[in-house]
Amino acid sequence: MAGKSKIRAVIFDNNGVLALGRYSIKEMREHKTVGVHKFMAKKLGLNLDSWFDAIDTPYALSIEGKLSRANTLSTIAKNVDTNPERLVRLFGKAYKKIFKENRKLFRIAFGLKDKGYKIGLLSDQWWLSKQFLVSEKTKKFNSVVISCDVGVRKPNTKIYQVLIKKLRLKPQEILFVDDREWNLRGAKKVKIKTILFKNNKQFVRDLKKFGIEV
């Protein structure tokens, strides 16, 4: 049971943790596949710099929920000379091509829940990545905090405070798992414990350091 450990909740990031890239860094470098933004630029007949210029401001604002879904899509669509409906379809294809659900990690997470731990999601997403990358399975999590919904993103300490409030736990009782070191810094500032995620095997090994068996 969770009482055997000081940790009472295990919280996961999404992209790179619960949703894994389908391709290795080596494959990406050897151009055996393309990332989401290269995919979008190619499909829209743009070079990558033009694509980034077109999405820069609305994309950044939408991650923090400062621009509505409708306004985000209409602004980007106008900038790249297409329509919002096509934009949604293309992003859907891109995310499906590049990412896959980390099914083993979901099984581990729900196993922890069965043992009495709270489980949750804390993730930076904009409207379309939330739609296509955040699994329906997270509806069974105890707490879900997504940047575009709460108006702040990692590593701002405010988003971790939102998580703490929702969980109704002490920061020291929460363990946050992310694949980006800079995202862990904000968690550490508010006394949340952290694991830098590399792969499932390493994650299970690091859990044991906190007295948690899967």
Residues 145-197 pLDDT 10s: 999 999 999 999 999 999 999 999 999 999 999 999 999 999 999 999 999 99
pLDDT given for residue 22 in this prediction: 84
DSSP secondary structure code for residue 132 in this structure: H
Are the CB atoms for 16 and 10 separated by under 8 Å? no
pLDDT given for residue 109 in this prediction: 98
pLDDT given for residue 58 in this prediction: 98
pLDDT tens across 45-87, in order? 999 999 999 999 999 999 999 999 999 999 999 999 999 999 9
* Average pLDDT of the segment spanning 19-23: 86
- Average confidence score pLDDT of the chain: 93
- CATH fold, domain 2-18+102-208, is Rossmann fold (3.40.50)
Are the CB atoms for 113 and 55 separated by under 8 Å? no
| CATH 3.40.50.1000 in the chain, residue ranges | 2-18+102-208
Secondary structure element (H or E) that encloses residue 10, with its range: strand 9-12
* Residue, of 119 and 1, whose pLDDT is higher: 119
Report whether pLDDT(201) > 80. yes
Ramachandran bin of 12, using left for φ above 0, alpha for ψ from -120 to 50, beta for the remaining angles: beta
Residue 127 to residue 193: CA distance in whole angstroms: 28
pTM attached to this predicted model? 0.92
